[in-house]
Structure 1
Amino acid sequence: MTDPGRRRHPALLPIAALLVLLAAFASLGFGAVSIAPARVIAALTGQGDWIARTIVIDLRVPRMVVGLLVGAMLGLAGAVLQGYLRNPLAEPSVLGASNAAALGAVAALYFGLSEAHVVVLPLLAIAGSLGSLLLLFTLAGRSDSSLTMILAGIAVSTLTGAGISLALNLSPNPFAAMEIMNWLLGSIENRSVEHIWIALPCILIGMALLLVDGHALDALSLGDDAARSLGFDLRMTRLRILLGTAIGVGGAVAVSGAIGFVGLIVPHIVRPLTDRTPSAILLPSMIGGAALLTFADVLVRLVPTTNELKLGVVTAFLGVPVFLVHLLRERRLW
């Protein structure tokens, strides 16, 4: 077994934790109205002027917490899926979880159900993610092959993507289509404490399920047969990973919209600072995902535009260099 103390660079986790703290504090201080650090601290401690307290406590703290939760979930899910599928470009959308959650939310917007109560849209997003899990199991059958899971995930993702396109095509008016598009672009703007309580249980359950199988992921890097010979139950491993991804990502997408590429970017940033075993990157990817998404959310507030940029647009641009690096690496191998 690898010495746990040598699996990661000793500074990796402290630096990742420091980045999370910096991102959280920046999220509280920057926005349409910038607030000095001293005023932020005073507002957090219940002192200072009421304007700063209102902005920080009522508006920015929920947004910051949602950003940290969603980023941590997406970063962890990406690291787990890259290890399980042995695919460096894997992320939650590979299994169709993100698209299915988005389809559930789009259905709430399309049929006007989201106007009934604020929890209806997130609940349908989570239901869509769990529905994709059932469909994935049906398509994959009893196979433990990662290739079968990827192909089944592509089928689920394509099907749910077609459903989203159909809803946009048949939207009853341009305002409904615009609302759907805005949600699909992803954002954590105007989030409240209610959104935190909606996402938190799903994200905690998802994280707990995904963090269990670190050693199984290490064994799978040697191949399915080697993992079985070491005593790992691959079917139970698959069940936990799929449930964790569906529940956790469903809860995250439910409150943030469709935000991609975080699960792709973070593991690749973290991996060079570890021994490259899948289990070694899980915790750093979770912390790094929280920092990356929160910093990206600060960036969308600072860019001078008429309308605030959507978070999903920024993370998509951040994902492009990762694809290019892998493209160039593969070209050298041809």
Structure 2
Amino acid sequence: MTPLRLNLLLAVILTLVSAIALFAGSGGAGPAALIAPDDELGSLVLRELRLPRVLLGILVGAGLGAAGAALQGFFRNPLADPGIVGVSASAGLGAVICLYFGLSSLFALALPVAGVIGAAFGVLALFAIAGRGASATTLILAGVAVNATAGAVTALLMNLAPNPWALAEIAYWLMGSLGDASWTEVGFAAPVILTGLIVLVPLARGLDALGLGEETARSLGIGLGRLKLAVVLGTALAVGGGVAVAGAIGFVGLVVPHVLRPLVAWRAGALILPSALGGAVLIILADLATRLLSGPGIPLYLGVLTALIGAPFFLWLVRHTQRRAP
């Protein structure tokens, strides 16, 4: 399948699942709400709750999927993922620091900026520890180190939280959810995540060349330093913007690129845009499942569901990679 056909197919699937997510569930927000008066309940639910939730899910999923594909292409390792290698935890730490010290009240974009800065530090730490072309074992160990450090500092801040309500707010936020999505969150996340995608998508040629080896990439005119900087910046923006508004949502950047990779003839560069679309589809479906499965007073968090899906997949992928290793 050509990349163009794959992208068109994924775009159609995304449109369909987004429409289902808009109208599924209770609240009177069925298709009839599209033509209902603005002040009716169904119209309000559709416009003020469902639509921003779906748009935010598309943004967050696209950022996570594209970042996962870019990291896997740069490291030339299918185990790279923003969550597994510590980028999401670092973005979460940046956002938690912003919340803990009250910096989010300084200006409107303080929380997304803090998430982006945290994600950037996470990516830079991963590059410093593992290096480019790291083995699966080295990559996992480096990710464990980054994850553990970010998790430890986050736990310290939670331990020092001034009151139980602040602790609960941080804990629930870290589980990841689109439940509080509003047009404000969409306005915060959209510029950050879209900028990250704008940085990542044009890296296709460089990542395809890097897949042939560093010397070949250099002979083709690819500046590896610039490529590394673009991967760091794009991943930080795409992941940090999403984590800042939706919390930690893991394994999307691992599962989606791995599923789609055979459909693009294993080309790392051609995988970025399909992974963005596929990540958006996965988040919309997972969020729809959390809405339909949550009971009264017992919400199912999006990050919990994606972890339940992604963790077994990751274990299978590790075993599969070991069997293929010489």
Task: Using structure 2 for the length normalisation, give the TM-score.
Answer: 0.88
Q: Which residue of 2 aligns with 1:28?
A: 22
Provide the rounded CA distance (Å) in 1 between the counterparts of 2:26 and 2:303.
Answer: 19
Distance in 2 separating the partners of 1:41 and 1:109: 37
Deviation readout 1:290-319 (Å, 9 max, x if unpaired): 111011111100004232211001111121
Does residue 246 of structure 2 align to residue 256 of structure 1? Answer: yes
Q: Which amino acid aligns with 1:42?
A: I
Deviations 1:214-247 (A, max 9, x none): 1111111122222222221111100111111112
Say if 2:109 and 2:188, in contact at 8 Å, map to a contact too.
yes
Q: Does the 8 A contact of 1:109 with 1:179 survive in 2?
A: no
Q: Say which is worse superposed, 91-100 or 193-202, in terms of deviation.
A: 91-100
SS of corresponding position for 1:208 = helix
Match of 1:146 in 2: 133
Within the candidate set 302, 308, 311, 2:299 is matched to 308
| Structure 1 position 65, deviation (Å) | 0.7
Selected match of 1:207 from 192, 197, 200: 197
* Equivalent pair of 2:196/2:233 in contact (CA under 8 Å): yes
1:325 aligns with 2:316: yes
Map of 1:165-244 to 2, 5 A cutoff?
165-244=155-234
Maintained 8 Å contact 1:204/1:248: yes
8 Å CA contact 1:7–1:280 kept in 2: the answer is no
Whole-angstrom distance in 2 between the partners of 1:300 and 1:94: 22
1:89-100 equivalences under 5 Å are: 89-93=79-83, 96-100=86-90
| Secondary structure of the structure 1 residue equivalent to 2:35 | helix
Q: How many residues align?
A: 321
Pick closer, same or farther for the CA change 1:82–1:32 going to 2, 3 Å: same
TM (norm. structure 1) is 0.86
**How many Å separate the matches in 2 of 1:16 and 1:34?**
29
Corresponding letter in the other structure for 2:214 = D
State the partner residue of 1:3.
none
Specify the SS of the correspondent of 1:232. coil
Offset of residue 269 of structure 1: 1.6
Q: Which runs of 5+ in 2 are unaligned?
A: none
The amino acid of 2:16's aligned partner reads: L
Q: Flag the 1:240–1:117 CA change in 2: closer, same or farther, 3 A.
A: closer
Measure the CA separation in 2 of the matches of 1:166 and 1:18.
45
Q: Deviations over 1:241-284 (max 9, x none)?
A: 11111122111111111111111111112112221111222211
Alignment of 1:35-184 (within 5 A): 35-37=29-31, 39-43=32-36, 47=37, 50-93=40-83, 96-114=86-104, 119-132=109-122, 139=128, 145-147=132-134, 150=139, 155-184=145-174
Q: Does 1:292 align with 2:279?
A: no
Stretches of structure 1 that go unaligned for 5 or more consecutive residues are 1-5
Q: 8 Å contact 2:75–2:134 — kept in the other structure?
A: yes
Partners of 1:324 and 1:40 lie apart in 2 by 44
Counterpart Cα distance in 2 of 1:91 and 1:322: 13
- What residue is the counterpart of 1:12 in the other structure? 6
The Cα of 1:113 is off from its aligned counterpart by 4.3
Displacement after TM superposition at 1:325 (Å): 3.1
Deviates more, 1:200-209 or 1:95-104: 95-104
Superposed CA RMSD in Å reads: 2.7
Pairwise CA distance, 1:31: 3.6
